[in-house]
Copies of this chain bind each other. A is one copy, B any other.
Amino acid sequence: MAQEKKLVEAITSMEEDFAQWYTDVVKKAELIEYSSVRGCMILRPNGYAIWENIQKQLDARFKETGVENVYMPMFIPESLLQREKDHVEGFAPEVAWVTYGGGQELTERLCVRPTSETLFCEMYANIVQSYRDLPKLYNQWCSVVRWEKTTRPFLRSTEFLWQEGHTVHATAEEAQERTEQMLNVYADFCEEVLAIPMIKGRKTDKEKFAGAEATYTIEAMMHDGKALQSGTSHNFGDGFARAFGIQYTDKDNQLKYVHQTSWGMSTRIIGAIIMVHGDNSGLVLPPKIAPVQVMVMPIAQHKEGVLEKAYELRERLATNFRVKVDDTDKSPGWKFSEQEMRGIPVRVEIGPKDIEANQAVVVRRDTREKITISLDALETKLSEILALMQREMLERARVHRDAHTYTALDYEEFKDAVANKPGFIKAMWCGEEACELKIKEDTTATSRCMPFEQEALSAHCVCCGKPAKTLVYWGKAY
């Protein structure tokens, strides 16, 4: 049993050092590998397969709303990036510049896209002429680059994978509707597939996207009480349209500017999956997103008929589940701890005695519960167990979040909460950036969002005591 110990001992416990626990898990579960490229990480098969599943299911949800995929160049000429003032100010400091190509110095620098608003705008200006051309609902899956000083796997890296949707509409109402629709697509996906409950709301002006009129966000709480911004949706109004000249002839023959949105979710969300569901044995993956849902574990596999039975179960289960057999020559204990480290939702143990009794032992990754089931009912029972696990993981995450959400009515209460109670703090705000800045300076907590579900906790701003305009979720954030 020395081996199993080694694998688990290799990760720091989360109570001891949450940041180190996180780093250990992404490495030991073989999600990522570091490279000699500063700030960039390699997504290994275990990590990339999670992203593939996210892509597949999120993409299907996009397409159901009429979205089409495209691919834009990865380079943006400097002059194009500079067309929208707020946008370039927001991004220029963190871009990478290509200055040489094909052995020659370029006459104009190209930045590697940090986001593609400017390219989409240029295209829309070319292809949109009439109201008949609207709306355009385009999205792309790609990687983007933002030069980061300090990086952490999935959470912050120089290059990361994401999708960016960019739409143009005839009216402001349609653009607002699409902005909220996509935020709901993200929130529903996270709750239903990733088992992560989200707070939906609007960002304060200070926290909104460079160039946006309004930014909406979904915010999740990690196991350590910190917030993770998990997806954003922006309404640009007609600001970019005016900067890039995206106009259409309306039915009334008038030339009008389009109204625009963009929305994105990135590999960051894999960090959320890890930090919401993981435990001291490693990753715990929600069944709906797990690349392998069922690991069949032959016990005493050298004995006659055991491996054959394991393969037979794999055959049977492959119709309904993503299933593998661990037929390596490692010890069962080692195999179990690998399966646990990788977060595979259930293992199905099958040994000589089980075969004799026409049964198998199913072990849930999240609760460690052992359930003996008849092989005749294997598919039905496994479906039930995985569905239950998916529901309970969401429920546990919700309970954890709610138990770590506090309210603060005055500034002393607020400062005490940030200092001593890791979690979200609900508090009223006057709407002035000065208070937001003061709170950040005093406590390091930032405004996460002005939630759609508003409450009137008090009539006064938690910071300055002046009349309050809105409820805000505050917290320390990744």
> A residues bordering B, Cβ < 8 Å?
33, 35-37, 40-45, 48-49, 51-52, 68-77, 80, 93-103, 109-110, 112, 119, 122-123, 126-127, 138, 142-143, 145, 147-149, 158-159, 161
Copies in the complex: 2
Q: Is the CB of A36 within 8 A of B77?
A: yes
Q: Is the CB of A77 within 8 A of B37?
A: yes
Q: Is the CB of B98 within 8 A of A102?
A: no
Q: Is the CB of A127 within 8 A of B35?
A: no
Q: Of the candidates B75, B102, B159, which one forms a contact with A94 in the assembled complex, judged by CB atoms under 8 Å apart? A: B102
Q: Of the candidates B33, B75, B76, B127, which one forms a contact with A127 in the assembled complex, judged by CB atoms under 8 Å apart? A: B33
Q: Is the CB of B33 within 8 A of A45?
A: no
Q: Is the CB of A102 within 8 A of B159?
A: no
Q: Is the CB of A36 within 8 A of B98?
A: no
Given that A98-B97, A100-B97 are contacting pairs, would A76 and B138 also be in contact in the complex, using a CB cutoff of 8 Å? no
Given that A42-B73, A70-B45 are contacting pairs, would A36 and B102 also be in contact in the complex, using a CB cutoff of 8 Å? no
User: What residues of chain B lie closer than 8 Å to A43, measured between beta carbons?
Assistant: 70-71
Q: Which residue of B lies closest to A30 (CB)?
A: B127
Q: Is the CB of B37 within 8 A of A73?
A: yes
Q: Is the CB of B48 within 8 A of A69?
A: yes
User: What residues of chain B lie closer than 8 Å to A42, measured between beta carbons?
Assistant: 70-73, 119, 123
> How close is A139's CB to chain B, nearest CB, in angstroms?
10
User: What residues of chain B lie closer than 8 Å to A48, measured between beta carbons?
Assistant: 68-71
Q: Which residue of B lies closest to A161 (CB)?
A: B71
Q: Is the CB of B103 within 8 A of A93?
A: yes
A97 to B102, CA, bound (A): 9
For this complex, 10 residue pairs linking A to B, each with C-beta atoms less than 8 Å apart, are A33-B123, A37-B76, A37-B119, A40-B74, A42-B72, A51-B71, A74-B74, A74-B145, A96-B110, A112-B112
Q: Of the candidates B37, B70, B126, which one forms a contact with A75 in the assembled complex, judged by CB atoms under 8 Å apart? A: B37
Q: Which residue of B lies closest to A59 (CB)?
A: B52
Given that A35-B122, A159-B74 are contacting pairs, would A99 and B102 also be in contact in the complex, using a CB cutoff of 8 Å? no
Q: Is the CB of B70 within 8 A of A37?
A: no
Q: Is the CB of A45 within 8 A of B69?
A: yes
Q: Is the CB of A98 within 8 A of B112?
A: yes
Given that A35-B119, A35-B122, A127-B33 are contacting pairs, would A69 and B52 also be in contact in the complex, using a CB cutoff of 8 Å? yes
> How close is A175's CB to chain B, nearest CB, in angstroms?
20
Q: Of the candidates B33, B74, B99, which one forms a contact with A100 in the assembled complex, judged by CB atoms under 8 Å apart? A: B99
User: What residues of chain B lie closer than 8 Å to A41, measured between beta carbons?
Assistant: 73
Q: Is the CB of A102 within 8 A of B93?
A: yes
User: What residues of chain B lie closer than 8 Å to A74, measured between beta carbons?
Assistant: 40, 74, 112, 143, 145, 159
A71 to B153, CA, bound (A): 13
Q: Which residue of B lies closest to A69 (CB)?
A: B48
Q: Is the CB of A75 within 8 A of B159?
A: yes
Q: Is the CB of A101 within 8 A of B110?
A: no
Q: Is the CB of B123 within 8 A of A73?
A: no
> How close is A433's CB to chain B, nearest CB, in angstroms?
25
A97 to B103, CA, bound (A): 9
Q: Of the candidates B36, B97, B99, which one forms a contact with A80 in the assembled complex, judged by CB atoms under 8 Å apart? A: B36
Q: Which residue of B lies closest to A119 (CB)?
A: B35
User: What residues of chain B lie closer than 8 Å to A112, measured between beta carbons?
Assistant: 74, 98, 112
> How close is A89's CB to chain B, nearest CB, in angstroms?
13
User: What residues of chain B lie closer than 8 Å to A110, measured between beta carbons?
Assistant: 37, 96
Q: Is the CB of A69 within 8 A of B49?
A: yes
Given that A37-B110, A96-B101, A119-B35 are contacting pairs, would A159 and B70 also be in contact in the complex, using a CB cutoff of 8 Å? no
Q: Which residue of B lies closest to A33 (CB)?
A: B123
Given that A33-B127, A37-B110, A159-B74 are contacting pairs, would A102 and B68 also be in contact in the complex, using a CB cutoff of 8 Å? no
A148 to B102, CA, bound (A): 7
A317 to B68, CA, bound (A): 21
User: What residues of chain B lie closer than 8 Å to A101, measured between beta carbons?
Assistant: 95-97, 147, 158
User: What residues of chain B lie closer than 8 Å to A148, measured between beta carbons?
Assistant: 102
A148 to B100, CA, bound (A): 13
User: What residues of chain B lie closer than 8 Å to A97, measured between beta carbons?
Assistant: 98-101
Q: Is the CB of A73 within 8 A of B40?
A: yes
Q: Is the CB of A100 within 8 A of B93?
A: no
Extra 10 A-B pairs, beta carbons < 8 Å, given A40-B75, A97-B98:
A35-B119, A37-B77, A40-B73, A43-B71, A49-B68, A73-B159, A95-B101, A96-B98, A100-B109, A101-B158
